[in-house]
Amino acid sequence: MAENFLIKDGVIKKVKLAAAELVIPEGVTAIEKTVFDTQHSILRSIVIPSSMKRISAFAFKDCRKLETVVITEGVETIGSNAFEGCKSLKSVIMPKGMKKIGYKAFYHCESLDSVVIPEGMEQIGEYAFEGCTALESVSLPEGMSRIGSDVFYDCTALKSVDIPNSVTRIDSGVFSGCKSLKSVVIPDVVTEIGSSAFSRCISLESIVIPNSVTEIGDAAFAGCCILPSIDISLGVTKIERNTFKDCQSFESVVIPEGVTEIEESAFERCTSLKSIVIPSSVTKIGDWVFNTCKSLVSVVIPDSVTECGSYVFADCQSLESIVLSANLKTIGEKFFTLCPSLTSVEFRGTKAQWSKVKKGKNWSGGIPAKRLKCSDGEARIL
């Protein structure tokens, strides 16, 4: 089918004869960027030869009728945006030996329903499969060490993914918005889960986080609204901001020893949360951390904590009792605002220590309790 193309020095310069099915001849090594712009409404299938080690960037972008792509063994790289916007693309056969899928390579290929990534794949670029809304399953090969940022972002039909034991890092946004994803097992060699990695996975029912994980990024599980519980890795030292925000089915959480800081809004709007265990390693609790945890009944803040931010327990309408750290130095503004059931407040230090605690504006928020218990008697809250 060489007669269909104008080829110079191994590069396709022009498609001379339009056709629904095209086979690029052996010997071709590259495609000029806009060659297939005139084929958007015609091309339905394409065969890529082994001589083309790299499928050029933007090669088939917006070929909206393209349904099938066969990539011959020998091709190693799919360039950036190569198949972006190919809305009819249903299947791609990737050969052994392929090493790289580029940035946005299959971006918004809305009919692509399954992908098998071949053995030997070393890198999948950012946003490679973002918006592939028909994609239901993905199998990633052993040997991959990292899943790039936003690779499967908003793949709303994705139900299952096999993460190989070679992966050590899950980057930011990888599975964000995968609304059909129900369960994930993270291998016990993973050390980092990036920001928003599983955010808005509204069907996620179970996830196993191994103790090899030392960092969970901000908003990593935000909006996982039916996830009933989570075991936080023993290696984690900080709960980042928004990490579990809007996890509305959490009933109890045990924060492991070793965590030193709980950042802002980490558990905000966990509306079913009834109990939280804060370890003696924590020194700082940020703003809004338990804001609108409407089912939370009692809390003990350990003596290691020296700083609590603003609005930490705002709108905790079921909160009845709290024990405050003896070493508390600062409490932010409106710490207890909209806590109509809070009748018992205890401070583990002395009355003299309580008087030295720096308190933000309207910190008590008009709670029913008017006095708090100290180690040597009672003190006025207001």
Numbers of helices and strands, H then E, in the chain: 1, 33
Q: What is the pLDDT of residues 263-283, one digit of tens each?
A: 999 999 999 999 999 999 999
User: Quick check: is 323 in a domain?
Assistant: yes
β-pair partners for 374: 377
243: tokens are 């990490």
User: Quick check: is 8 in a domain?
Assistant: no
User: Quick check: is 258 in a domain?
Assistant: yes
Distance (Å, whole) CA 296 – CA 289 = 12
User: Which pLDDT score, from 0 to 100, does residue 317 have?
Assistant: 96
User: Which pLDDT score, from 0 to 100, does residue 77 have?
Assistant: 94
User: Quick check: is 244 in a domain?
Assistant: yes
| Closest to 266 in 3D by CA, of 299, 304, 297, 311 | 311
Distance (Å, whole) CA 217 – CA 294 = 25
Structurally, the chain folds into a number of domains equal to: 1
- Computed on alpha carbons and rounded to an integer, the radius of gyration of the chain in Å comes to 27
Distance (Å, whole) CA 361 – CA 134 = 51
In single-letter form, the type of residue at position 281 comes to S
Does residue 156 contact residue 180 with C-beta atoms inside 8 Å? yes
Q: What is the pLDDT of residues 280-316, one digit of tens each?
A: 999 999 999 999 999 999 999 999 999 999 999 999 9
User: Which pLDDT score, from 0 to 100, does residue 103 have?
Assistant: 95
User: Quick check: is 279 in a domain?
Assistant: yes
| Closest to 191 in 3D by CA, of 163, 174, 214, 175 | 214
CATH of the domain at 336: 3.80.10.10
User: Quick check: is 74 in a domain?
Assistant: no
At 15, give phi and psi (nearest 5°).
Answer: -95, 115
Distance (Å, whole) CA 45 – CA 53 = 19
- State the 10-residue block means of pLDDT for the chain, 382 residues long: 80 81 90 77 89 91 91 93 94 88 96 87 93 91 87 95 90 97 92 96 93 96 96 94 97 96 98 97 98 98 98 97 98 96 97 96 93 95 80
Distance (Å, whole) CA 360 – CA 293 = 21
User: Quick check: is 368 in a domain?
Assistant: yes
**Burial per residue of 267-295, b for 16 or more beta-carbon CB atoms within 10 angstroms, e otherwise:** bbbbbbbeebebeebbbbbbbbbbbbbbb
Domain of residue 324 covers 237-382
DSSP string, 160-186: EEE--TT--EE-TTTTTT-TT--EEE-
User: Which pLDDT score, from 0 to 100, does residue 17 have?
Assistant: 64
User: Which pLDDT score, from 0 to 100, does residue 109 have?
Assistant: 97
In single-letter form, the type of residue at position 343 comes to T
User: Which pLDDT score, from 0 to 100, does residue 110 have?
Assistant: 96
